[in-house]
Amino acid sequence: MKTEQPITYSIESIRERRLAKQEELKLSKDRMHNLSQQLFAPQQGQNKIDSLMQQINMGIAAYDGLMTGIKILRRVRGFFGGKNKKY
């Protein structure tokens, strides 16, 4: 019958393994950071007019999102009796 030998750990092996895992986590974090920067960074304009138009479009999109959010909030409040109506 074959008996399994218990695995022995030493302080040095645990320390080395912990440092390796920390380095692996750091590299993974850096990869995720770079990927998110690439995905969500605004595109660079090729000239000043393109950059200006991109800034204007982002401003309009932000305003539109804000106004849509306000309209949705008002509608939701209306469903739940946000205003007291006197008849």
Q: How far apart are CA 32 and CA 26, in angstroms?
A: 10
pLDDT, tens digit, 9 for 90 and up, residues 51-85 = 888 889 989 999 999 999 999 999 988 888 755 55
Bin 59: left if φ > 0, else alpha if -120 < ψ < 50, else beta. Answer: alpha
Q: How far, rounded to the nearest angstrom, does the alpha carbon of residue 28 sit from its chain's CA centroid?
A: 15
What are the domain boundaries of the chain? 11-41, 46-82
Tokens of 4: 């399994």
Global pTM value = 0.45
Is the pLDDT score of 87 beyond 50?
no
pLDDT digits (tens, 9 = 90+) for 2-20: 677 788 889 999 999 999 9
